[in-house]
Amino acid sequence: MKACGDCKIGWQSNDAPRCRFPRCLHGWRVRNADHGAFLLAVCLGLRGGGSQCGALLACGFGFAGARVCGSSQAVLTQFLQSASSLWVAVLSGLVVNLRMAVYSAAMAPRVRHLSTPRRMLAAAFLVDNAFAFMQQRRQDKPQESNDHLLAYYAGLTCVLWPAWIVFCMIGSLAGSVIPASWQLDFAIPLAFIATLSTTVRTMPLFAAAVAGGVASVVLFSLPLKLGLIAACLLGLLAGLITERLMLLRKASV
């Protein structure tokens, strides 16, 4: 028996190198990311909730509870109010969320050993922020075991989700208390800038990021909100091309 080096309060037995501590609590203690996560949820919730009004107020709670759109909630609710039909609204929302298939694919090898209900649970909470935090965690501690990473994910969700719901409610009910001039929505890209700075390590990744960023603004007005997913694919293409070019150059030298 020795103390778990990560959370400092759990313990590990010698034969099983996994922290014998409830996962959510273990994850809660791990690193200081929970402060950042909480702050982010506050900003997101206040803005996301604040942009709803009238008939959509109640639905804001629904959005929060169903963990529908994470960082794109504010954009989406705004869009829903001006959508030409319900079908367009639903379809656009799904297109915006298509990027989460990538998170799902990245998560897949890590949850293979779990039972199906647990896999579904893991999938249900896989939002942008949780994925970004996990991505960063993996950069910080490449040696970390899969169990520890899942524990971190569980702990993260225990912070993110309740805070998200509570602050969405506060934002919806008292949206006008926070003046728009505070520009709280700016906290969302800021948090992703932090993650981006650790994710981009090689030239192809850099090319993918630049292409994705530029394309997302240029293609923003595509119908059905196709711009975001198109930007992601263009980024992927730019990354692949850069990779190929680097290979060619290496071959010619």
Query: Between residue 196 and residue 225, which ones bind another protein under the rule CB under 8 A?
Result: 196-200, 204-206, 208-217, 220-221
Minimum CB–partner distance for residue 14 and another protein (Å): 31
The stretch among 1-9, 16-24, 152-160, 227-235 that binds another protein (CB under 8 A) is 227-235
Task: Specify the amino acid at residue 172.
Answer: S
Secondary structure (3-state) at 12: strand
Q: What count of other Cβ atoms lies within 10 Å of the Cβ of residue 11?
A: 13
Report if residue 100 touches another protein, rule: CB under 8 A.
yes
Residues 110-129 that bind another protein (CB under 8 A): 111-112, 116, 119-120, 122-124, 126, 128
Is residue 243 within a helix (H) or strand (E), and if so which, with residue range? Answer: helix 226-252
Report if residue 30 touches another protein, rule: CB under 8 A.
no
The stretch among 16-24, 105-113, 143-151, 159-167 that binds another protein (CB under 8 A) is 105-113
Among 160, 165, 171, 195, binds another protein (CB under 8 A): 195
Total number of residues binding another protein (CB under 8 A)?
Answer: 108
Helices (H), 109-225: 116-124, 128-140, 146-173, 187-199, 203-218
Report if residue 101 touches another protein, rule: CB under 8 A.
yes
Secondary structure (3-state) at 83: coil
Report if residue 41 touches another protein, rule: CB under 8 A.
no
Report if residue 188 touches another protein, rule: CB under 8 A.
yes
Q: 12 or 38, CB closer to another protein?
A: 38
Q: Give CA–CA dist 96/198, Å, rounded.
A: 24
Secondary structure (3-state) at 196: helix
Query: In whole angstroms, how far apart are CA 22 and each of 11, 51, 148, 151, 155?
Result: 11, 37, 11, 8, 10
Q: 4 or 160, CB closer to another protein?
A: 160
